[in-house]
Structure 1
Amino acid sequence: MLFYTAKEINIAMYLQIMYYEMMPILLGKEFLLRNQVIYDTQGHVDDYDHELEPRVSIEYVIGTRWFHTMQEGRLKLYTHDGRLYRELAAVDFTLRTGALPVNRTLEGITQGTFRQPCAAVDGVVDPDVGERILGRLQRASDVLASDIMKGRDAGLPPYNEYRHICDLPRIKKFKDLLEWMEPEQVEGMAMMYESPEDIELYPALLAERALPGAALGPTLACLMASQLLRWRRADRFWYENTVHPGAFTEEQLLEIRKATLSRIICDHGEEVHEIQPNAFLLAGHGNEMTECVNIPSPNLNAWTDSSCSRKQYIQQKTFFTPDHVDSYFDW
């Protein structure tokens, strides 16, 4: 009982953080609300669709390679009071987790997870990440070429086909791209492809300008929102649903909605005593650093089950009668 309850709570907290804390920064909160990926409510959301197939699109998988552009090549290590004291090449630790306990590396990286900014969202991948992703285990690599090749191996249609699926105007001439990309990106597309119909999906996703209030361009935002929507609507056991017998009560759901990445880092991070309320954004105006005791925490008392009493357990598992059990506890 404890295991399954804890499992459901942890899955729900993960999804709450992913959908309501991280994705609004990447795709824009208004975009997600408009497409019903998230809802502006504290209560339940019953949008389960039994006819929707619970699958993951290959376009979503390829599209997530876009995050290489946000990956910083250097790991900055900080003290618990925010002083930078060391930098490491991130790729040197890709498969060397044994080095984390040495020289307080784990403590410093933990502080860096909420103090260090990500790389600029500009379609450019850090040289370390792009050229030696596995660090000392390889002489060289080309992450972007590998990501493009993954799209070809999967047989993805051209970029224009996805614009059509996402109700965006098709690109008929290279100059049409200027509305969606910077001039130098358009020039690169014209050099590499014979016509707009030949442009591949992944390079175009890297080149698109971000939507207002978001980090992703319109096509990638469309593809990701489609997958996020499918995940929630195809899942009968989605944590916001009431259509299955194990659904959370309204009181329990309210506690789930208190879950944040900041609270998790406070609870489990090495020597973390203060943090900003939204760990996905740098500390600043409206997101000032505060002590961990000020970060809301879900109250697990909402899951108290009076039927799981020790007295009843003893009665069920032994030969004791109810009177014997009462005498046992009195003793």
Structure 2
Amino acid sequence: MRTLACVAVALAALVTPMAVAKSNGRGDISNPDDSKPLPTNENKRLTAENELAGRALKYLGKPINRKTLCSEAPKKPSICDDSLLYRSADGTCNNQLNPSSGARLQSYRRLAGYSYGDDFSSFRQAVNGGELPNARLVSLAVDIKPPTASAPFSLLLETFGRLLFQDLVNTPQVVGSEGEAIQCCPKTGRLPVKVHSECASIRRSARPFAQTRQTCMEFVRSAMAPRCESGPRDQMNEATAYLDGSWLYGGDQQEMASRRTSRDGQLRIKVSKKGVEQFPPQSDAFELTPVFRTAHILGNAKPAVAALSLTFARYHNYVAQRLKTINPSSNDEELFQESRRVVIAQLQHVTYSEYLHKILGKAAMDEYQLTSPKGELHSNDYDPGLDVATSSEFATVALLFSNGPISNHIERLDSAGIVTAMDVSAEASLEDVTEAPSELLRGVSRQGASTTVFTKEISAILFPNTDPVSLDLAALNIQRGRDHGVPGYTAVREVCGDKVETFQGLADAMDQAAIGSLQSIYQDVKDVDFYVGGALERPVAGGLLGRTFTCVLAEQFSRIRKGDRFWYETSNKDSEFEDDQLRALKNTTLAGIMCGAFPDLQMVQPKPFEVVSAENPLVSCDSLPSVDFAAWKPKKD
């Protein structure tokens, strides 16, 4: 067992189909207390599969044949240190039997196999051999309600879900030869002379969008994961499969180093032109641009996600300050790595003790063993033989839907209780709407999630110096499932132990009105897209999602918990928290993190995922449970 007094080891150490991977460079972290760079084995830890994916991303958009790509793939083995206390940034060496398991740049796992029209890459076909109905027409035909439509939850629940999405999913998209976005739809109503082979635009001339009258919706396929043998098309995940705060700390050592101040374990925090601390300077997901790019998976949710991201960045610095006070002799590397370890543990605790209970319900939490072991402080169910890779069904469909739709407005709430509603569907500067992050966080935690809807049309700017275009997010999600070869709803439902052969067989899971809408657009029940069928299911008892989405999410979160050697409750002697430290960490609440990051909040409801009510009243930050960092005080010999 370790304390902060141990000598820290410098280690290698994102969310969306719109994210595009860039250089995969590596670099050491410098220690300001020592001019020599700290040791790292990151360059030697990448397996052939990792390196192959990294090389493919460097060639993204450029012509290269498989023979050339595979001839460059290294064959060296991974090198891991058995006694590493801190997890790597890229996920390598978490599993010492299979060092690349769960690491970034891995292909997605498949729960229900592949479903391509040609068994290799083309979109899934209908049972009768024809094309599936147009994704836009499907969206118009079915009434998909958000998972939080009738529940007393706050907008913070959906915001936290989007942060988890960033942590676990980052699928690169095909780009042009110079790294530019590919434009698939014509500007004049006629097709371009040459359409990129990876375009799969959604066209429907009979039902144009009302605002723009356009009949074509942009859609570019996700990049194909490289492979040196024949097989169906896979997509790769640039994020790790572990719940490790990679959206905050970076996905490789170079990115992590760029986010650090190299002083007292602190993270860099961006300061606006008006002198206000804002979102961390991280990935493109938070890049400051003049206008929101609503085509990004975060879309109009970006201000809320930015505020929550800043909350965790500020809280990391708060933890580092506390640890520095307890042990003034600690250097930057020790403070940073231990603070990161603590914050990741708290992120895991909040996710499994506060968030998932509301999404999945008690039955699924118990069935998939997602709760802390009763009567035991540490868990001993780590399984190194478990494949922790993120499933395509989870990443492409289920987790995406569970985040909820986009809100047309976000409320800022100041300390005097004055509400300022911001219309984030209009063109707005991200800096303007995040100029008061604590007010934004206070507003998001008290604004009801039921104010959001799955709109059939939003306006977005996709390309520089162009007019806004119209998008249908449900249609895009349906199309993305087909792009990734995700099998239909009934196939995934069968994997979850619930086989169905006819439309009327769906009556035990959804209402007759929903079944009727499916029959109006699909010829066969087996044609129904997973996104659509799963979204129309009645929620399980105590949860927000239907049985199939609940199954897919619970299955993945079970793997995340049991397949992580650094899980915060682990009993692994190399990486476990000491007993008093773990007891302290289990006092963590999201409300406490919010107060620690923004003391000016002063008051918050104990359950921030729910709106303020008689059962969930505002209380003083001082009255909330807190983590006793005295547990990190060096032990006397």
Q: TM-score category by the smaller chain?
A: 0.7 to 0.9
Name the Cα RMSD after superposition.
Answer: 2.4
Q: Are 2:414 and 1:79 equivalent residues in the alignment?
A: yes
Out of 378, 382, 386, which is 1:44 matched to? 378
Aligned counterpart, 2:342: 9
SS at match of 2:340: helix
Out of 367, 370, 388, which is 1:34 matched to? 367
Letter paired with 1:259: T
Aligned-residue offset at 1:5: 1.2
Aligned counterpart, 1:323: none
SS at match of 2:412: strand
Aligned-residue offset at 1:67: 3.5
For each residue in 1:218-273, what CA deviation from the matched residue of structure 2 results, as whole angstroms up to 9, or x when unmatched?
10010000100111111111111112412111211111111111111112237311
Letter paired with 2:615: G
Aligned-residue offset at 1:81: 4.1
Aligned counterpart, 2:449: 118
Aligned counterpart, 1:329: none
Q: Are 2:496 and 1:166 equivalent residues in the alignment?
A: yes
Change (3 A) 1:113 1:6: same
| Bigger helix fraction | 1
Q: Are 2:473 and 1:140 equivalent residues in the alignment?
A: no
Q: Distance in 2 between matches of 1:109 and 1:133?
A: 23
SS at match of 2:625: coil
Q: Distance in 2 between matches of 1:201 and 1:177?
A: 13
Q: Distance in 2 between matches of 1:216 and 1:240?
A: 27
Q: Distance in 2 between matches of 1:100 and 1:118?
A: 19
Q: Distance in 1 between matches of 2:616 and 2:407?
A: 22
Out of 624, 627, 637, which is 1:295 matched to? 624
Aligned counterpart, 1:212: 541
For each residue in 1:32-90, what CA deviation from the matched residue of structure 2 results, as whole angstroms up to 9, or x when unmatched?
02320223536111111111122111111121221353542211222224342x21223
2:487 and 2:529 in contact (8 A); partners too = yes
Aligned-residue offset at 1:119: 2.6
2:434 and 2:440 in contact (8 A); partners too = no
For each residue in 1:172-217, what CA deviation from the matched residue of structure 2 results, as whole angstroms up to 9, or x when unmatched?
2212222211222211110111111111100112111111111111
SS at match of 1:285: coil
Aligned counterpart, 2:324: none
Aligned counterpart, 1:285: 614
Aligned counterpart, 2:259: none
SS at match of 2:469: coil
Letter paired with 1:7: R
* Identical-pair percentage: 24
Q: Distance in 2 between matches of 1:22 and 1:149?
A: 28
Q: Distance in 2 between matches of 1:101 and 1:217?
A: 34
Q: Distance in 2 between matches of 1:150 and 1:240?
A: 36
1:60 and 1:223 in contact (8 A); partners too = yes
1:71 and 1:119 in contact (8 A); partners too = no
Q: Distance in 1 between matches of 2:513 and 2:600?
A: 45
SS at match of 2:549: helix
Aligned-residue offset at 1:101: 4.9
Q: Are 2:401 and 1:66 equivalent residues in the alignment?
A: yes
Change (3 A) 1:39 1:47: same
Aligned counterpart, 2:577: 248
Q: Distance in 2 between matches of 1:81 and 1:11?
A: 33
| Structure 1 unaligned residues grouped into runs of 5+ | 309-331
SS at match of 1:271: helix
SS at match of 1:69: coil
Q: Distance in 2 between matches of 1:182 and 1:132?
A: 32
Change (3 A) 1:279 1:100: same
Judge which range, 173-182 or 140-149, deviates more. 173-182
SS at match of 2:393: helix
Aligned-residue offset at 1:92: 4.2
Letter paired with 1:76: E
Q: Find runs of 4+ consecutive structure 1 residues off by over 6 angstroms.
A: none
Aligned counterpart, 1:131: 458
Aligned counterpart, 1:320: none
Letter paired with 1:240: E
Q: Distance in 2 between matches of 1:260 and 1:200?
A: 37
Q: Are 2:553 and 1:224 equivalent residues in the alignment?
A: yes
SS at match of 1:140: strand
Q: Distance in 2 between matches of 1:301 and 1:184?
A: 58
Q: Distance in 2 between matches of 1:26 and 1:34?
A: 14
Aligned counterpart, 1:236: 565
Letter paired with 2:459: R
Q: Distance in 2 between matches of 1:137 and 1:65?
A: 27
Change (3 A) 1:100 1:132: same
For each residue in 1:123-150, what CA deviation from the matched residue of structure 2 results, as whole angstroms up to 9, or x when unmatched?
x5145xx523669973211211111111
For each residue in 1:263-321, what CA deviation from the matched residue of structure 2 results, as whole angstroms up to 9, or x when unmatched?
1111223731101111111122332110110111111111111479xxxxxxxxxxxxx
